[in-house]
Amino acid sequence: MIMKGSNFFKRFLQIDLVKVFSLTATSTLVKMLTAFVSIKIVASILGPSGIALIGQLNNFVSIIMALASVGINQGVTKYISQNKDSKEEVRKFIGTAFKMTLFSSLFCGINLIIFNKFLSNKILNSEEYGYVFIVFGFVIIFYALNNLLLSILNGFQQYKKFVTINIINSLIGLVFTITLVYFWQLKGALISLISYQSTMFFITFWMLKKRYWVAFISFREKLVKQVAQKYFHYTLMAITTAATVPVSQLFIRSYVISNISIVDAGYWEGMNKISSMYLMVITSSLGVYFLPKLAELNTNLELRKEIFKVYKIIMPVLAIGLLSIYFLRYFIVSILFTEDFAPMSSLFAYQLIGDFFKIAAWLLAFNMIAKSMTKTFIATEIIGSLTFVVLALFFVNINGVIGITQAYMINYIAYLLIMLLIFRKLVFNIK
């Protein structure tokens, strides 16, 4: 029995996903620890209302970054993965991606600077934070280029270097946040959120400067029309996501602030922070492993085998983790936040169930990105976000802020059912 158990454990460790999961474990642990420290400091100094404003800016940053990168980063990962053995093809895809990212980020940066007071008023409910958007406007190009470099690295499946850069990224983010929040409180937290990723571009570039493909990130490379057209599918998908998920959260949070209180909005944002921390363990590994892997597979048989392999590994681990988090929820809130956030414990049950179905659905939804199913992706994103908003407003008016997590759970159960319907032939082996 002991020998069988040992052999099973060895075979388990040889699975590609488990290798990547193990490799990214250190990076994930560092991210979680830095996120833990950041949340604790920000929550202690700013309280629920400060957390709510940071959530607003964070959603806005997600939207703008999708526009600044032209939404092509996942496309870059896919096409580099498919063509990594052809230097000429790599040159075309990287050169075109650089030109598209450069022009789009410059356009976004100029508009952030010009409309800084308007954006400050709309996003943060006051014109006094206009300087945040001015700073963001100047540094956004480096933010976008750093993400491009990481997408290319991921496409080459150079996991060790990818993990190392992400660890450094997390540590720099922690130093930024602690320093700026300590000296400038809320203003420092807002500046940190929009600036630390930009400084990482120079570190990432320095760490990758010996890679042959880095030379293709230059003004000399041409924008290839045919390549740009391929990327355009990902642009549509990313902009759709940017125009739905963060916007729906902005809308719901603004509704809670206006109709309940900014403190309750802070509770929900705190729950979102915790959710993103524990899901990071899963999503970081999937982002590094799953998308490039699916892009390489061409037949339904190969895809089905890979997807079910991932399900068998991920879902049991996720279920055990979520149950543990639920039973430790009071302890987690007390450690991560302050006594002011105690009412947030009531949000865990529905959020955790929703997260379980979210990951279950995402494992199928990755196929839409890997296989450029643009129309299907856009339709499901729009329908999913609209449904979430409608359900959230309905349940908030009945049950208060806990209603958002109830809507979240119902929405992702429905999303999984839609994914099963779309990929029924793949999942159920229907010919």
Q: Is residue 226 within 8 Å of 95, Cβ to Cβ? A: no
Q: Which residue do the tokens 């892009």 mark?
A: 295
Structure tokens at 316: 């049991």
Mean pLDDT of 119-139: 91
Which of 18-27, 68-77, 161-170, 280-289 is the least confident region? Answer: 18-27
Closest CA to 403 of 263, 256, 231, 284: 256
pLDDT at 108: 96
Predicted local distance difference test score (pLDDT) of residue 2 = 45
**Of 328, 364, 365, nearest to 345 (Cα)?**
328
Average pLDDT of 144-167?
86
pLDDT score of 29: 66
Q: How many CB atoms lie within 10 A of CB 155?
A: 27
- What are 347-404's pLDDT values in tens digits? 999 999 999 999 999 889 888 877 778 889 899 999 999 999 999 999 999 999 999 9
* pLDDT score at 68: 92
234-246, pLDDT tens digit by residue?
888 888 887 788 8
Any idea of the CA torsion for 349, 241, 152, 92, to the nearest 10 degrees? 160
Please state, in angstroms and as integers, the Cα–Cα distance from residue 137 to each residue in 199, 354, 417, 425, following that order: 14, 35, 41, 46
Residue owning tokens 């320095």: 206
Nearest one of 429, 425, 427, 415 to 377, comparing CA atoms: 415
Distances (CA, A) of 421 to 149, 294, 320, 357, 376: 36, 19, 27, 15, 12
For residue 143, give both structure tokens.
């933010």
pLDDT mean across residues, the chain: 85
Number of domains in the chain: 1
Note down the domain range covering 182: 2-427
Q: Output the CA–CA distances (angstroms, integers) from residue 304 to 299, 309, 349, 367, in the order listed.
A: 9, 8, 31, 11
How many Å apart are CA 265 and CA 257, to the nearest integer?
A: 6
In the predicted structure, residue 206 carries a pLDDT above the cut 80: yes
In tens, the pLDDT along 24-53 reads 656 666 666 666 666 677 777 777 777 788
